[in-house]
Amino acid sequence: MSAAEPFLYPPVEPYATHRVDVGDGHRLYVEEVGRPDGIPAVFLHGGPGGGLVPAARRFFDPARYRVVLLDQRGAGRSTPSGSLRGNTTWHLVDDLEVVRDRLGIDSWLVFGGSWGTTLGLAYAQTHPGRVTGLVLRGILLMRRLERDWFYQGGLRHLQPQEWARFVAPIPVAERDDVLAAYHRRLHGPDEAEARACAAAWGRWEAVNGSLLPDAGLVGHFTDDEHALPIARILSHYVWHGGFLDGETQLLDGVDRIRHLPAVLVQGRYDLCCPPVSAYDLATRWPEAELRMVPDAGHSAAEPGIARELRRATDEFADRLGT
């Protein structure tokens, strides 16, 4: 049994699934769980490129919510797998509007984790009138300080053994810019080299994704079927700074959404998304409630994080009410 199990709602299956054409050759996998007449919410997965897992459905009371979950462009069951064509933050923001309109939803609660917080903030700041509130976990603002921390050596001081594994595929002469070296190889013509780099990249992502490494997550991010598409999409977004207009776009845009209720859930020992980003966002958004979980890392599957996420959705159900 997962340590988060006591804090999650029971497993639930979708009552509807959809394939939604969003242009550029992309078709999104979309599912709905809960009550068709329930409180609308949209779940934004991490990555980018990470895709959905069944546990994502379980943060919401199925008797009160209508939850829309989707695999973003190139991720999970969306097609074509791993495609970078027309794949930027702003395409994903537009996709959410296509899905919302297709499902006849006027506005919805935005729930996102990790990369999903970046996308959730970008979406809410672009379409504040379509958002009833936000629940964000593991805050990622796609600033250089975050990218340098995770991909350019900041984290090596806490994870020296895993950092050595991460940089092993990169020649010593290129390790002054590890991200650039990986980007060249993951998107280069040598398929065997790209796959080897994808496995190393995936392990680095996965072992830092929770306070204690999750063997299942490591396996998913390093296996042949998933590793390369995920690593290509992730490196594509990180290399381009999340396609944001400057380092502080999401902080500067907070004034557009300060009227919206929000809960920010952050693990004190999050290695992927350093807590300073949650603190900086909360400082610019004093109306938002920052819940710093003292005994947690990055993963939504950790007990303290799962507890706070479910508490937040229950509170929003009371606030938005059915």
Residue 90: CB atoms within 10 A of its CB come to 14
Beta bridge partners of 263: 135, 289
Two tokens, residue 29:
């996998």
Phi-psi sector, 242: left (phi>0), alpha (psi -120 to 50), beta: left
Active-site residue 91, yes or no?
no
Neighbour-count burial for 202-213, b at 16+ CB within 10 Å, e otherwise: bbbbbbbbbbeb
Active-site residue 81, yes or no?
no
List 236, 270, 277, 299, catalytic entry:
270
Active-site residue 235, yes or no?
no
Angstrom distances, CA of residue 108 to CA of 34, 39, 140, 230? 14, 8, 21, 28
- Spatial separation of the C-alpha atoms in residues 246 and 266, rounded to whole Å: 24
Residue indicated by tokens 């504040």? 128
List 114, 210, 277, 299, catalytic entry:
114
List 81, 210, 298, 299, catalytic entry:
298
Q: Which residues are catalytic?
A: 114, 270, 298
